[in-house]
Chains A and B, each alone.
Chain A
Amino acid sequence: MLSRVAESLYWMTRYLERAENTARLINSTTQVLLDLPKGAYFGWDVLIHVAGLDALIRERGLKVDEASIMAFLIEDEGNPSSILSSIHYARENTRTFREVLPMEIWERINGLYLYIRDNARRATHSRSGRYDVLNGLIERRQSIIGLLAGSMSHDIAFQFLKLGRNLERADMTTRIVDVNSAVLLPTDPVLAVQTMERLWMSTLNALSAYQMYRRHVGVHVRSQDVVGYLLKDPHFPRTVYHCLSEIEGCLEVLPHNEKAMKAARQAYRRLERMQLGGLVPVVLHEYLDQVQADLGAVHDALSRQYFYLHQQQEALIAPGQ
């Protein structure tokens, strides 16, 4: 496997996963807004904050009302993390390694790009259109994962696809969880608890996790239970814990995996040690930052080990340009 191709595969699924999770994040937030009682407040800028895009918004001088933020997150090609940009990058990346993927994959990714290009406008302009279009995107993305699972050899290329997907997914799960820590609750304590319950229900729904949570945890939707579930449950495929174990599984079949494995296990151990009982929002936010940093360290280790030969070439060319 060429270093350059491995890196492109890795980023291709990261972009796809980012687009899917941004769609989930937006859907969840739109739901949250509908459920908020009087006296609770939620600002759209929170989305920008959890997506880590504050600086770009400031630089661009964009307004932080619903319409502007939606346009920025969904169809703004000047935002490298917007849904349209992510899928565009994924598609361009796919072009460079079509030969390692099953043939139909390119058609599906190309189709996904055409879909979002043609529907992005509808998604930014009305809430009902938004839900529809974003769900369509999630469906198409899921069918790509299905096709890969069912028609691609679980070879080295497959491992890099899986690594990118799980790293991005774990990261985005922490960001989606983080949204709720920014909601200002009503002062009435009963109403506050009810509100919190609704918020977490929306989060679980956004991650397609509600049903599984009810089966495996219980019918009551309590902050600490939900956070514990989404971070530490070993079996649900969007939890940080599960993603980390998938990452470990991929690393096991790759050559020279020592450093990346070490970083993954470090992230693992820190996650296991986190005490989530009686958690206040500020501390939760810090915990989530820590998880994101640990995932970043796994990425750095992967990058140094496997993409290095390719990047070295870039470094050699760069000074002359």
Chain B
Amino acid sequence: MDIIHDNYRLNDAYDELIGPDLQPRPAARALFEYLSGEDWAVLGERRKAVEAAIMSMGITFTVYSDAGNIDRAWPFDIVPRIIALSEWRRIEAGLKQRLKALNLFINDLYNEQLVVKDGVFPIEVLQGSKNFRAQCQGFTPRFGVWAHICGTDLVRDKDGTVYVLEDNLRVPSGVSYMLENRQLMKRMFPEVFQGGTILPVDDYPTQLHDTLAALSPRPGDRPVIVVLTPGIYNSAYFEHSYLAQQMGAFLVEGGDLVVKEDDCVYMKTISGLRRVDVIYRRIDDDFIDPDAFRPDSALGVRGLMRAWRAGKIGIANAPGAGVADDKVVYTFVPKIIKYYLGEEPILANVPSYLCMYEDQRDYVLANLDKLVVKPANESGGYGMLIGPRANKAERAQFADLIRENPRNYMAQPTLSISTAPTLVDDKLAPRHLDLRPFVLQSDRLYVTTGGLTRVAMKEGSLVVNSSQGGGSKDTWIVDVEGA
């Protein structure tokens, strides 16, 4: 049975698995050989089995509404996204280079600001940054590293070039789904994993643990590590709990921790207070310490910033790391890499127009129907304008927003992001997707093997966020040469 010819229609986007000749790309050949031996009914059954497994494993994200809290099953597509190892090695090197440079940049911003003095980074961008925290100035955390966990979004344009779309340096999420997706695939298709050409992904929890342990202020091989969650009502609570479980760390809420007069952080246990060494916080800067940031926060820990500055606690990501997680700062990353590392960037940035500069703003305003406009500090795909799909009124409204606050907006040409075959009503159809690898840095640098592939399940849609109807796929890095 020829599954590709029967059902597949390529559009002008690059397809990750299928070449222009409608043949599988080399890295996907083994998969399609396997698939063509299965019949469609069996595949449909496997998909149902996967859905049942997702329900019973309770892999859900929670949607909160007036009608009550609904646990939605994580939408998962059983056709994996495949990348050849040789290509992946280059991406991996590019991601490490990028995070290394970003951390040097953040540390510089909070200290000497040489990058500004040397005229590489304009002072007005810094002044307009919502995520620059004055409370962090004059401090250097361990190893000079601020962003220990980074989720970098990658997309591929129609010519095959991989671009960095954004760097998530605040509290990036999704890695638990990457791990669970692989568990699901191994449960459902054990036979395709035989032969060892698909590289494993499951060392992430250990790497995360070691990355965090390196931040401990006390010597010793078993530091007390906690994952600080806003609680069960957060949509990523599943992930917080999952990572704590995988690392053997404590999952704590703000109310479980207290900072004492000795500036140390303690957790409240059944036998009294116990000292904590490292906090992997999954709460935004604004909420982590009511003394230093929002005084109305009930999620954080009073005195946490004081403890951190006194060197009594490691916090990942460090408060203030989000200064580099800004879509305007993003446009400077190629320059930042050259400035700090003296290297050419390995991964490309999407060409961008900054509305704060008059000439670029004029271009953006004149070409709103061709561009994607993004606010500097939103995440989750909110507050964006996709020019070609917007109507006149929406574009006019955005033009006003840009004129009112130019520093807050940047624009990019609409990329034709790549597709991969996705099972839709028992047929394979192309759906757009992106990739979020996770990069770790403390005393080491580490990149996940692949990452989380998010896919827009609706035909033609470019929005992959789970809060807006996106799903995910398992991501395979395949050693074609070694096979």
Contact = CB atoms under 8 A, between A and B. Distances in A.
B48 interface: no
B250 A99 contact: yes
A79 interface: no
Given A2-B252, A95-B237, A309 B56 contact: no
A150 interface: no
B56 A107 contact: yes
B234 to A, nearest CB: 11
A270 B119 CA distance: 83
Interface string A93-112: 00111110001001100110
A114 interface: yes
Contact of A317 (B242, B251, B268, B298): B298
B56 A110 contact: yes
Given A1-B269, A1-B270, A310-B268, A111 B244 contact: no
B232 A95 contact: yes
Contacts of B270: 1-3, 6, 156, 254-255, 305-306
A2 B56 contact: no
Size class of B's contact patch?
Answer: 20 to 34
B58 interface: yes
Given A98-B242, A99-B241, A310-B256, A110 B271 contact: no
Interface string A1-34: 1111110000000000000000000000000000
A177 B255 CA distance: 41
B250 A114 contact: no
A106 B58 contact: yes
Interface string B247-276: 011111101100000000001111111000
Contacts of A2: 250, 252, 256, 267-270
A98 B241 CA distance: 6
B251 A97 contact: yes
A3 B298 CA distance: 18
A272 interface: no
A154 interface: no
A187 interface: no
Contacts of A103: 245
Contacts of A314: 255
B257 to A, nearest CB: 10
Contacts of A255: 270-271
A268 B55 CA distance: 44
Contacts of B271: 1, 255-256
Interface in A74-100: 92, 95-99
Contacts of B249: 99
Tell me the dominant secondary structure on chain A's binding face: helix
B56 A317 contact: no
Contacts of B58: 106-107, 110
Interface in B78-106: none
A107 B255 CA distance: 28
Nearest to A95: B232
A96 B269 CA distance: 15
Interface string A302-321: 00011001100110010000
A92 B232 contact: yes
A254 B271 CA distance: 9
A256 B271 CA distance: 7
A2 to B, nearest CB: 5
A4 B232 contact: no
B57 interface: yes
Q: For A1, A2, A256, which residue has the most chain B Cβ atoms within 10 angstroms? A: A2
B56 A96 contact: no
Contacts of B253: 4
B268 A98 contact: no
A160 to B, nearest CB: 8
Interface in A36-67: none
Interface string B39-66: 0000000000000000111100000000
Contact of A310 (B237, B248, B255, B273): B255
Contacts of B256: 2-4, 310, 313
A110 B53 CA distance: 11
A107 B268 contact: no
A306 B232 CA distance: 22
Contacts of B269: 1-3, 309
A3 B253 CA distance: 12
Nearest to B272: A309
Interface string A252-263: 001110000000
A107 B187 CA distance: 15
A178 B237 CA distance: 43
Interface string A214-257: 00000000000000000000000000000000000000001110
A2 B245 CA distance: 15
A319 B305 CA distance: 26
A147 to B, nearest CB: 14
Interface string B334-378: 000000000000000000000000000000000000000000000
Contacts of A306: 270
Nearest to B58: A110
A239 to B, nearest CB: 28
Interface string B265-290: 00111111100000000000000000
Given A1-B269, A4-B268, A6-B270, A99 B56 contact: no
A4 B271 CA distance: 12
A225 to B, nearest CB: 41
27 contacts: A1-B270, A1-B271, A2-B252, A2-B256, A3-B256, A3-B269, A3-B270, A92-B232, A96-B232, A96-B251, A98-B242, A98-B245, A99-B249, A110-B57, A110-B58, A114-B56, A156-B270, A255-B271, A309-B268, A309-B269, A309-B273, A310-B255, A310-B268, A313-B255, A313-B256, A313-B268, A314-B255
**The 4 nearest A-B residue pairs measured at CB:** A99-B245, A309-B268, A99-B244, A255-B271
Given A3-B270, A309-B273, 9 more contacts: A2-B267, A3-B269, A92-B232, A95-B237, A99-B248, A310-B255, A310-B268, A313-B256, A313-B268
Interface of B: 55-58, 232, 237, 241-242, 244-245, 248-253, 255-256, 267-273, 298
